[in-house]
A and B are shown apart, each in its own frame.
Chain A
Amino acid sequence: GDSVTQMEGPVTLSEEAFLTINCTYTATGYPSLFWYVQYPGEGLQLLLKATKADDKGSNKGFEATYRKETTSFHLEKGSVQVSDSAVYFCALGGSSGGSNYKLTFGKGTLLTVNP
């Protein structure tokens, strides 16, 4: 079945540092890939997405490229801010055709950015 593996946290960085959170996946078809972010006390919000190989999703300075050859979707940001402190979830969906509406989530990575 489908699965997502993302790097274990927590990750602690200083403001303006470079961020990478690794995510790899296993899927039988051609999934869509997502990064969701969860701020303290809130629900998950879509951060960015990519629907096919070589697509790059980007939002709020974050980027991730759908790499089919390495089955990866690593999240990057060049300069993190304190306000980026949150839990980040990698997810995949829709790899088994039109009847699969589920998203498969990774376990989440807690990012803390210090001033």
Chain B
Amino acid sequence: DARVTQTPRHKVTEMGQEVTMRCQPILGHNTVFWYRQTMMQGLELLAYFRNRAPLDDSGMPKDRFSAEMPDATLATLKIQPSEPRDSAVYFCASGLVLSSYNEQFFGPGTRLTVL
């Protein structure tokens, strides 16, 4: 049963600390997405990759957030320095782009709390 995995599932940190979230997409998928979910803003797309190349990171605060795919089995989202307003659930999703539709498969999320 192929699924997207994310680590850690929960993270509590203090303001100013670096946070790294990891995602393992489903094997064979060629697109990876990072989302942030909060009560106030709902689901926001932060960045996405195709074939490991960043295609769009316009949803991401550039000064503190960075997203990378060092290889096809790992995507990372880093926040440095973290701030209390970054507290949210961060989801990774992967997909295989086909000509007819672009379904995404979501991981379980990383719940981040910045104190």
Contacts and interface: CB of A to CB of B under 8 A. Distances in A.
Interface of A: 32, 34, 36, 42-46, 49, 51, 89, 93-94, 98, 101-103, 105, 107-108
Given A32-B102, A49-B101, A43 B45 contact: no
B100 A32 contact: yes
Contacts of A105: 42-43
Nearest to A108: B42
A93 B101 contact: yes
A101 B103 contact: no
Q: Which 10 A-B pairs have the closest CB atoms?
A: A43-B106, A32-B101, A44-B106, A51-B101, A93-B102, A107-B42, A43-B108, A94-B102, A51-B100, A105-B43
A48 B97 CA distance: 17
A101 B43 contact: no
B18 interface: no
B115 interface: no
Interface residues of B, number: 25
Given A43-B107, A45-B106, A101 B101 contact: no
B101 A94 contact: yes
Interface stretch (B48-56, B66-74, B75-83): B48-56
Interface in B81-115: 91, 93, 95, 97, 99-109
A44 B50 CA distance: 20
Contacts of A93: 101-102
Contact of B95 (A44, A45, A101): A101
A110 B22 CA distance: 28
A44 B45 CA distance: 14
B31 interface: yes
Given A32-B102, A93-B101, A108-B43, A101 B48 contact: yes
B8 to A, nearest CB: 15
9 contacts: A43-B108, A43-B109, A44-B106, A45-B106, A46-B103, A98-B99, A101-B31, A101-B95, A105-B43
